[in-house]
Amino acid sequence: MENMNDTLLKRFVSYATTWTTSDLEKADAGIMPSTDRQADFARTLKNELHSIGISDVTITEHAYVCARLPATKGCEKAPVVGFLAHMDTAEEVSGENVKPNIVKNYDGSVLNIGNGIVLDPAKDAALAAAKGETVITTDGSTLLGADDKAGIAEIMTAMEALIADKDAKHGTIEIIFSPDEETGHGMDYVPTDWLTAKQCYTLDGGHVGELETECFTAYKCDVNFTGVACHTGTARGIMANAITMASAFVSMLPQNESPEATDGYYGFYAPMDMTASIENAHVLLYLRDFTMEKMQRRLDTVDIIAKAIEARFNGGKVEVVHTKQYLNMKEELDKNPAVVEKLVQAAKLAGAEPVFSPIRGGTDGSRLTEMGIPTPNIFTGGHNFHSRSEWVSLDQMNTATKLVIELAKLWAN
């Protein structure tokens, strides 16, 4: 196997330049994968898995790539361990025609990457800490796709290294590359009948050393407004404008509890989309917090605001539908300490100092943990996800790859 950094770089650039953006509207309608381009990428990954020496590879009807690397001799009874990463990129920023910009031996200066996007280490502590590393950015016109193609590259490279190392001992390893994580549907059709691992790890995190065992509890709210239309010249006392109703609803959400005003363990209300006409309007609202008690407060607040809007607009109606998306995985992971203990040990063996921080979001591992398979999240070296400012450190990707290798070996023992 060639130098690991060279292998990772080639893989990541190849993956990043492959368009795999998912589609929330289609995913919400039950279409999986939500875009054909994800299925195309799945076939590419299947072929690559074959090429590195894994023969047991299948793609499900919903485009999950499932691969199984057999245990080495003498390790057949070791616990099976799984590794997951997702194929899609977020649709908030274009993921088409990505042009990665490779900055070797980054000197710690301001990076004007293009299209008016500036990466300033004075405002980005992680970038400042990456001085001397190989940094990969966008050209400022798209996102990069380190979320989560860095994770895929790391898993693929780790498997290739394990296969090439004839002295490495490991149990059976199962790999899943999933579609539609960014739409919140990444585990809707995960093939649990195929998966035999009782413990898994997602590679979908950020800065080197960050290990994540807790995340948001997440709900979405579909808020539907029904107005009363009439001629604007004779509207007094008759019209209930659904556009105004929806706007008033959004304005009543606590602004100090928005994504842009919170961090750490503070949750938020996040309006994500609004469509409106005089008769009908819809607001898609995301709610996030770390405990179910705090989440219930947010759900109740949304209902109260909806009732207030309905009372304020004569004849107008407001309907709220709450849908659970995923739960904080901390409680279930606390019941399975070995999963985290081995992760900490592997991180140290790979040369990373473990740092635990809450995920201000969720991963496929959140859902998988909820299904009964404890699945903490591992750093990938990626930063500023879902933006034109996204970047990844190749050196940190190397460390994540080594961590996966060490984890595989530890579970064999």
Q: To which residue do tokens 């992971």 refer?
A: 333
Return the closest-CA partner of residue 401 out of 336, 333, 360, 351: 351
Q: Which of 23, 88, 257, 332 is catalytic?
A: 88
Known active-site residue 88: yes
Return the closest-CA partner of residue 85 out of 15, 5, 27: 15
Q: Using CA atoms, how far apart are residues 20 and 38, in angstroms rounded to an integer? A: 5
| SS3 category, 359 | strand
Q: Which of 91, 160, 181, 332 is catalytic?
A: 181
Return the closest-CA partner of residue 363 out of 329, 398, 396: 329
Known active-site residue 181: yes
- In this structure, what are the phi and psi dihedrals at residue 76, rounded to the nearest 5 degrees? -65, -25
Q: To which residue do tokens 């590419």 refer?
A: 44
| SS3 category, 349 | helix
Reading the block at residue 277, the tokens are: 């006409």
Pairing of strands 210-212, 377-378: antiparallel
Give 83's strand partners.
Answer: 175, 201
Report CA-CA distances (Å) from 194 to 64, 82, 174, 305: 11, 12, 10, 45
Contact 66, 59 (CB under 8 A): yes
Residues 190, 195, 198: CA angle, nearest 5 degrees: 115
Which residues are tagged catalytic?
88, 181
